[in-house]
Amino acid sequence: MTAHEEIDLKRFIRHVPDFPKPGILFYDISTLMRNPDAWQLAMGRLARQVAPLKPDLLAAVESRGFLTAAPLADRLGCGLLMLRKCGKLPGDTISHTYDLEYGSDTLEIQADAVQPGQRVVVMDDLLATGGTLAASVALLRKAGANVVGASVMVELTSLGGRNKVDAPVSTLLTYKE
């Protein structure tokens, strides 16, 4: 094992209590991103997880998914598309509305972002309850994508979000709480 392989990336994730609201423990990846060695190692590990899926495109979930998907798409030599909140993309879009704990939300992609059958991996920073990731998979399939997987930097396993996602999920770091 190299020195890089021995680095525990969890020590670079900051835990912020009561953010964005009381009772929520926020797992902040910005502290990992600020450390060049940890960031390079994280991107390398994500690349090893995603490369075997042979994606044509990585689909980045707004907004922190952009942070991992863009450098990973460059590293893997594949394309990148953005899944955005309603009204943020120019041109014709395809949308998918999904339920949240209190209310609903809508994700969109540009109508020409995916060619039928293209192999797509969805990227986000965090998997908690699974609603956004599941909606992303549904939207991409609606657009004709072959969603071959999803990849997240952090998964909160106690919330069971993985069970809602209709695609194989790979995770860099897991937390039980």
- In the annotation, is 14 catalytic? no
List strand residue ranges (DSSP E) for 4-145, in order: 14-17, 25-28, 57-61, 79-85, 93-100, 103-110, 119-127
Check residue 145 and give its pLDDT. Answer: 98
**Does residue 1 fall inside a structural domain?**
no
Residue 75 sits at φ, ψ, to 5 deg, of: -65, -35
**Does residue 40 fall inside a structural domain?**
no
**Does residue 151 fall inside a structural domain?**
yes
Q: How many domains does the chain have?
A: 1
Catalytic residue from among 6, 34, 75, 101: 101
**Does residue 20 fall inside a structural domain?**
no
- In the annotation, is 177 catalytic? no
**Does residue 57 fall inside a structural domain?**
yes
- Predicted model pTM: 0.94
Please report, in tens digits, the pLDDT of each residue of the chain (177 residues total): 455 557 899 999 999 999 999 999 999 999 999 999 999 999 999 999 999 999 999 999 999 999 999 999 999 999 999 999 999 999 999 999 998 877 899 999 999 999 999 999 999 999 999 999 999 999 999 999 999 999 999 999 999 999 999 999 999 999 997
Distance CA(136)–CA(84), nearest Å, equals 10
Closest Cα partner for 111 from 95, 97, 94? 94
Closest Cα partner for 57 from 139, 128, 122? 122
Could you tell me which residues are beta bridge partners of residue 108? 84, 95
The CATH number given to whatever domain includes residue 86 is 3.40.50.2020
Catalytic residue from among 45, 64, 84, 162: 64
Domain span including residue 135: 53-173
